[in-house]
Structure 1
Amino acid sequence: MSASERPTARIGEETPGHARTADPAARRAEIRGVIIDLDGTMVDTAGDFHAALNRMLADLELPSIDSDELLRYIGKGSEHLVRSVLSARLPADHVEARFATALDRYQHAYAQVNGMHASVYTHVAEGLAALRDAGLKLACVTNKPHRFAVALLTQVGLHAYFDAVFGGDSFARKKPDPLPMLKASEALGLAPAQMLAIGDSENDALAARAAGIAVLTVPYGYNHGQPVQSIDSDGIVGTLLEAARWLHQ
């Protein structure tokens, strides 16, 4: 089932597999800041990943990757992405021996293609503008390396909406660890109970849950190739603009 075919739940409704820890509607009045994921939530970057990985694989004389395989690996940072691709092509005892070279080749390739094959999802800019107009502070928290995140947000015209941007190398641990969420809340001068997180994958939800932050998911991203309805979140929103409208109510 494609992302566009998946049913979208109204915020605050139960969806299959959800074990909600808090009702977002009850916390709406407390929310003063929003943490938003990048890849698969604001920008479709699968084309960039695909191009960079295939440049890396060609350099290493390994079989190329197709889009279906790629979508299973996106979302846990560059190291996990490269290691997963190598693990599917090499014996286990060869993966670590070639990992450092592969990561270096991948990051060099990604720097060259960053944003070239990317597109902003529908109503992202409008949603960010609405959130800012409502007086909310915004942070982008992504597992993408910080320099790539800033460059991409700037290229697609979204960087100015954010008070802070944090990448997978900004802290000692990445999502799904709660540390990036907690540090982003701290950077905005807000408590976790005053925050809302929006993302497309289980990593976003797990990190938010562990940090005590309400979390909404979007149905059009990656989520490691799994349906968004399987994620334990507080609800599914069709777009960032829909999330902003909910918060305005």
Structure 2
Amino acid sequence: MSLGGTGLPFDLILFDLDGTLIDTAPEIALAVNDTLEELALEPVSPEQVIRWIGHGTRELLVQALADRWGMTPQAVQAAPDFANAEACFQRHYAARCGTRSQPYPQVIPALDALRSAGVRLAVVTNKESRYTDRVLDAHGLTGRFDRVISGDTFPVKKPNPLAVDDCRSRFGIARERTLLVGDSAIDVQTARNAGVAIWAVPYGYNAGQPVADAAPDRLIEDFGALQPDALLTWAALVDT
């Protein structure tokens, strides 16, 4: 594998947020149950919330209400009470953002090492920007990225490849020099749609299913595999 201008196999690395960079499930579950309590509904389990993460917080709330109201997601969105429930959730999640989440092990050292090596870094998440910004700020991560694309940055979200294409175009990086790192089948499909490499971490959410089932290009145990020396070792092995 040829090395780019950074001297590494990739010049642009894009990261999913929830379940990849940061373990956000605990605070999301709390916000969901804060909302259900205010609506006089029974709570849901953390495991249920994890299965619903990935398509943005609105869709997650729809799934929770569908479960508690005994309705289809389509019926929930058409229900007269949905707007009030959504406003309630927005208030609770804004209060919870950054309070019970934490970066996964080795994330911050790997990001810092990649930045020092000149790699362009971006976040591509389906989470709405008001929550993305709060979570990144809470953990001192905002300044570590050259670009942050949230679920409401463009009219479309992952697995649409627009966010990846935007970053590549903005930084002038070819597809073969671009890597997406995620935790879900959504991320794998996004990378496939964008024509870029996809590596996945096994500790994320992915609707409660093993991400290996989505057939990423590589499954990495943790962000230690993204340290520059580890990337060079991997590239040398690929070439042998």
Q: TM-score, normalised on structure 2?
A: 0.87
Residue aligned with 1:129, SS: helix
Where does structure 2 lack aligned partners over 5 or more consecutive residues?
234-240
Structure 1 residues 94-243: aligned runs within 5 Å: 94-96=75-77, 97=79, 98-243=81-226
Work out the number of aligned pairs and report it.
224
What is the rounded CA distance, in whole Å, between the counterparts of 1:53 and 1:27 in structure 2?
46
The amino acid that maps onto 1:100 is A
What is the rounded CA distance, in whole Å, between the counterparts of 1:194 and 1:101 in structure 2?
45
> Percent of aligned positions with the same letter in both sequences?
37
What is the rounded CA distance, in whole Å, between the counterparts of 1:103 and 1:124 in structure 2?
32
The amino acid that maps onto 1:114 is C
> 1:201 touches 1:231 (CA, 8 Å); kept in 2?
yes
Instruction: Go from structure 1 to structure 2 and tell me whether the alpha carbon gap of 1:102 and 1:191 turns closer, same or farther (over 3 Å shift).
Output: farther
What is the rounded CA distance, in whole Å, between the counterparts of 1:185 and 1:108 in structure 2?
35
* Alignment of 1:56 onto 2:35: yes
User: Which residue is 1:72 aligned to?
Assistant: 51
* Alignment of 1:247 onto 2:231: yes
RMSD: 1.7
* Greater than 3 Å deviation, 4+ residue runs: 26-30
Where does structure 1 lack aligned partners over 5 or more consecutive residues?
1-25
The amino acid that maps onto 1:89 is R
Give a deviation string over 1:19-43, Cα, whole Å, max 9, x none.
Answer: xxxxxxx466562100011111111
Q: TM-score, normalised on structure 1?
A: 0.84
Q: How much does 1:231 deviate?
A: 1.7
User: Which residue is 1:8 aligned to?
Assistant: none
Comparing both chains, which one has the higher relative contact order based on Cα–Cα distances under 8 Å and sequence gaps of 6 or more? 1
Give a deviation string over 1:60-112, Cα, whole Å, max 9, x none.
Answer: 22221111111110111112101111111223375121332222211111110
The amino acid that maps onto 2:136 is L
Residue aligned with 1:185, SS: helix
User: Which residue is 1:36 aligned to?
Assistant: 15
User: Which residue is 1:16 aligned to?
Assistant: none
The amino acid that maps onto 2:115 is R
What is the rounded CA distance, in whole Å, between the counterparts of 1:177 and 1:27 in structure 2?
28
Please say which of residues 184-193 and 223-232 is displaced more in the overlay: 184-193
